[in-house]
Structure 1
């Protein structure tokens, strides 16, 4: 009996999945995305900490300047874009490539509007006397330009991926056979999921950055 019990125990131990087995089963693109998100998070945390420390050391009271209203408008636009991209998986599951294309197109347009509003926000900073460089520049003001510009750069990277996927959807929607092949391809479903994850991350990241600027500017 003991030998049989030990044999079953060894068999069970062999069948017990390794704690790393789930990680090993993750698609390489998903692993790469997670690593990229971790790296982006670390970079922005370091920048925000540097901004807050510099702002506190400046001795200037908060609320000395009004945060550009275009930053507030861009925040609303980006939140709406996160909602539109969130509808994409449902439309894909319904095999509705026409609506999926409009959904991705709307998200792309909202992303472009966000970037444009950010540029207008930088111009508003200049009118307040907050320059990126030169005699009128300040260390804390430079951080606002740097942090928001880096965020826009990461958003533009997502927009390029979004544009490529949108073109594939439009191409597939022109023919019934191509539509069927596109819908049944799990790689496209994974691409859409990765895009949604990245876009939501960029959205949440900006909301956090905006909150920091709002209370520390």
Structure 2
């Protein structure tokens, strides 16, 4: 039994290593970046939790933080449609979903900024209590990382709109494995940022 278990473990490890070896270096870099981002936000969230949140204070999490969470959920849905439309070679429809995702991402940032304004009106400032400082900092860093996704999303959107107007360019775009890789990476990163914010939101909701 022990030898069978060892063989099974070795086979699993061998399969995992083969998958890593076959992975494109850029995709590997993205995954490492996502791990780094996850660790950064975990450390900041723990630091925020150690401040005790806003216990004893008359503080409610900004309503627009809830709005922003809903906006990101919708953006995750619209982004999830993109890979399927790419495979079906429906570039014009794909560009519409990319545009919707971009709009929702920008609205998310707007909702976050309004949320900051809500906090300042209730007396929670960046230079005030440590809990308030961490709340602003975590939100700002998430916006900063999401902006990276928005910039790349904008590039892919304009590229898709450009090629969709010409049959030859569309065919080259669809058959290009690098474009497929770019869309796949954008999809992964966007969902990661969405679920990262949802996790942070529930932590804030619990501690606030």
Establish whether TM, by shorter chain, passes 0.5: yes
The answer to whether 1:108 aligns with 2:102 is yes
Match of 1:85 in 2: 79
Q: 2: distance between equivalents of 1:161 and 1:65?
A: 36
Q: 2: distance between equivalents of 1:213 and 1:92?
A: 37
The answer to whether 1:150 aligns with 2:141 is yes
Q: 2: distance between equivalents of 1:18 and 1:100?
A: 34
Match of 1:204 in 2: 195
Gaps of 5+ in 2: 1-13
Match of 1:163 in 2: 154
> What is the root-mean-square deviation of aligned Cα atoms in Å?
1.4
Q: CA deviation at 1:98?
A: 0.4
Per-residue CA distance 1:52-108 (angstroms, 9 max, x = gap): 00126x8x33x7311100000010000000000000011111111100110100000
- Correspondence for 1:29 among 26, 29, 33: 26
Q: TM-score, normalised by structure 2?
A: 0.90
Matches within 5 A, 1:186-205: 186-205=177-196
The answer to whether 1:71 aligns with 2:65 is yes
The structure-2 alpha-carbon separation of the partners of 1:129 and 1:171, relative to structure 1 and needing over 3 Å to count, comes to: same
Matched residue count = 195
Q: TM-score, normalised by structure 1?
A: 0.87
Match of 1:45 in 2: 42
Q: CA deviation at 1:18?
A: 7.5
The answer to whether 1:215 aligns with 2:199 is no
The residue matched to 1:183 in structure 2 has which SS?
A: helix
Match of 2:6 in 1: none
The structure-2 alpha-carbon separation of the partners of 1:104 and 1:19, relative to structure 1 and needing over 3 Å to count, comes to: closer
The structure-2 alpha-carbon separation of the partners of 1:19 and 1:55, relative to structure 1 and needing over 3 Å to count, comes to: closer
Per-residue CA distance 1:15-35 (angstroms, 9 max, x = gap): xx6763321110011100110
Larger of the two Rg values belongs to structure: 1
- Aligned structure 1 segments of 4 or more residues deviating by more than 2 angstroms: 17-22
The structure-2 alpha-carbon separation of the partners of 1:183 and 1:38, relative to structure 1 and needing over 3 Å to count, comes to: same
Gaps of 5+ in 1: 1-16
- Correspondence for 1:122 among 99, 109, 116: 116
